[in-house]
Structure 1
Amino acid sequence: MKLSVNTLARHRAAGAAFAALALGAGAVGCSKGAGDESPALTPAAAVAKAAKKTDEITSLHYRMKGQVPEEGRVTGEASMSMKPLAMSMKMTAEDQATDGPVEIRLVDKAMYIGGGAKAAKEMDGKSWIKFDMSALGADKELSANQLGGGQADKNPATDSTFLTGSKDLKKVGTETVDGVKTTHYKGTVPLDAFRKSLKSQDKDTREKREKALDQYTKMGIDSLTMDMWIDGQDHTKQFRMRGTADKGPLDLTITFLDYNKPVTVTAPPAKDTVDLAEMMKGAQQG
């Protein structure tokens, strides 16, 4: 093969690292023709009601666009099922055009990262790399967190609940997003203060939200500016988060197309796949 194991893995892992971030952003909603929420709801009550809806999510389909630390500008589309855990994503790092689009699949406790014809030229005709999620972590340079596995097992809607910790939450107005009438809310969330407020939550809720918070504190983000567009069924149709990380700005918008519908993800053909464990074993023997 033309590339070393570590070089190739890092090259494709960049896409998975973005996937981890994208999967950890937003909530979901897609009720066509839904009207405004009850006028009696305060901004805090409306956001809290939408946050509660996240527990009902079993699957989702969404688009993403924005800027993430290190990767720069990104666009993509993904579908994800919570139980059984499965995910399919196609995304492009706009500022790294030479890499081309990347496809990521998570199925049967394995992550597959593919780069099409470009990747095939670098891997003796193979266009996919397989990462066994249960076997990752021995090599610190190829940890589950870096490859996207660190956040893949949580409901991505959890991050939207951060907005319940805003002390300056306000209603911006009524807007139509992707054909759906929504109410726009905005606020800032100091992450340390929000983490402390979780002590009053039940154990399951607290653990899920703390896990979601960890990815942002590790990035060096102290505070998030958040926007949420809620439809008439109390679901979040669109979600935006902005913050300053140690390695660059975060500004990501998620637009949700549907949710709680069947999601089917299949593994790539074995003939087109290189197993990371076998690659590393071969490199060590070499």
Structure 2
Amino acid sequence: MKLSVNHAVRRRATGAVLAALLLGGGVVGCSKGAGDQSPALTPAAAVAKAAKRTEDITSLRYRMTGTVPGEGRVSGEAAMSMKPLAMSMKMTAEDQATDGPVEIRLVGKAMYIGGGLKAAKEMDGKSWIKFDMSALGADKELNTDQLGGGQADRNPATESTFLTGSKNVKKVGSETVAGVRTTHYRGTVTLDDFRKSLKGQDKATREKREKALDQYTKMGVRTLTMDMWIDGADHTKQFRMRGTADKGPLDMTVTFLDYNKPVTVTAPPAKDTVDLAGMMKGVQQG
């Protein structure tokens, strides 16, 4: 088994993790409520009400498509549970030479990345790489920043609240999204304005949203154009985020399939898995 090959697989898979987890960051809860929102709600109030709903999300399932800075076009589908934390997603990097979707599973304090058949041929038939958070020094808290993800340890609904910092939210119209009647809203928001809008929030909410905001600051994004499609039950059915980062354009659309339903994620078979921590230990001893 070649360490250089594993690094290549890890690099390719980590790109998919970043795309999936970063832009799963646009996720907000969906519901099966029908009909447009109450006409009595102003656009700003409608967006604020939908943002408030994100605080109660315990699990969700969604699909995504778009462009990630530095990675190109991506698409995928994911399911996530917040408590206990668990995740399963399949991502395809359409502009990269891969042998198919990359699958990511988060189980307990371990993240598993499946590199596909090509990776298996280069890793003695093993198609999964295991990143054990405890063995990699993240036993106090799940810290996927070590893998380039940086999003798996928090509710991915948070980024949807950015639109509450916009000063020009407007109603675009009524549209049907994935069979659900919605009201479409759009606005632009600078990251500075959103940060200022957090002053009136409670400490826990403010810290969570500031943490989400920091990743976009690090990307070099200063202004976002955001769209939200909100259903009759005041949940967001679809979300789009556009902006310019240091490494290129950001443009992701996330459509929500369900939420607050049981999510079960299992680890891949041990016989198909390479333990990165064990491998690194062997290299150091060697």
The TM-score normalised by the length of structure 1 is: 0.94
CA contact (8 A) 1:166 1:187 kept: yes
CA contact (8 A) 1:182 1:230 kept: yes
SS in 1 for 2:195: helix
Distance in 1 between residues matched to 2:245 and 2:99, nearest whole Å? 24
CA contact (8 A) 1:23 1:152 kept: no
What are the residue-to-residue correspondences of 1:2-41 with 2, within 5 Å?
Answer: 2-4=2-4, 5-31=6-32, 34-41=34-41
1:164 aligned residue: 164
1:226 and 2:226 are equivalent in the alignment: yes
Letter in 1 for 2:180: V
The structure-2 alpha-carbon separation of the partners of 1:149 and 1:250, relative to structure 1 and needing over 3 Å to count, comes to closer
- Alpha-carbon displacement from aligned partner over 1:135-169 (angstroms, at most 9, x marks no partner): 4469xxxx832525521111111111110000011
Distance in 2 between residues matched to 1:37 and 1:126, nearest whole Å? 50
1:174 and 2:174 are equivalent in the alignment: yes
Unaligned runs of 5+ in 1: none
What are the residue-to-residue correspondences of 1:3-152 with 2, within 5 Å?
Answer: 3-4=3-4, 5-31=6-32, 34-136=34-136, 144-145=144-145, 147-152=147-152
Runs of 4+ in 1 over 3 A off after TM superposition: 5-8, 134-138
Residue 209 of structure 1 and its aligned partner are, at CA, apart by 0.4
SS in 1 for 2:255: strand
1:203 aligned residue: 203
Residue 3 of structure 1 and its aligned partner are, at CA, apart by 4.5
- Alpha-carbon displacement from aligned partner over 1:96-138 (angstroms, at most 9, x marks no partner): 1434210000011110000221111111111000011234469
Residue 58 of structure 1 and its aligned partner are, at CA, apart by 0.6
2:242 aligned residue: 242
CA contact (8 A) 2:115 2:128 kept: yes
Distance in 2 between residues matched to 1:74 and 1:156, nearest whole Å? 18
Distance in 2 between residues matched to 1:252 and 1:56, nearest whole Å? 23
Distance in 1 between residues matched to 2:19 and 2:124, nearest whole Å? 26
CA contact (8 A) 2:36 2:182 kept: yes
Deviates more, 1:146-155 or 1:86-95: 146-155
Residue 194 of structure 1 and its aligned partner are, at CA, apart by 1.1
- Alpha-carbon displacement from aligned partner over 1:221-256 (angstroms, at most 9, x marks no partner): 001100000000000000000010001110000000
1:258 and 2:245 are equivalent in the alignment: no
CA contact (8 A) 2:99 2:116 kept: no
- Alpha-carbon displacement from aligned partner over 1:250-277 (angstroms, at most 9, x marks no partner): 0000000000000000000001001111
- Alpha-carbon displacement from aligned partner over 1:52-84 (angstroms, at most 9, x marks no partner): 100111100000000001110001000000000
1:280 aligned residue: 280
CA contact (8 A) 1:63 1:254 kept: yes
Letter in 1 for 2:202: D
Identity %: 79
Deviates more, 1:5-14 or 1:75-84: 5-14
Residue 197 of structure 1 and its aligned partner are, at CA, apart by 2.0
Unaligned runs of 5+ in 2: none
- Alpha-carbon displacement from aligned partner over 1:10-38 (angstroms, at most 9, x marks no partner): 23222222222123123121315x01111
Distance in 2 between residues matched to 1:195 and 1:56, nearest whole Å? 22
1:268 aligned residue: 268
SS in 2 for 1:62: strand
The structure-2 alpha-carbon separation of the partners of 1:222 and 1:100, relative to structure 1 and needing over 3 Å to count, comes to same
Distance in 2 between residues matched to 1:57 and 1:177, nearest whole Å? 20
Distance in 2 between residues matched to 1:276 and 1:250, nearest whole Å? 31
Distance in 2 between residues matched to 1:174 and 1:13, nearest whole Å? 38
2:192 aligned residue: 192
Distance in 2 between residues matched to 1:137 and 1:68, nearest whole Å? 29
CA contact (8 A) 1:59 1:262 kept: yes
Distance in 1 between residues matched to 2:87 and 2:208, nearest whole Å? 19
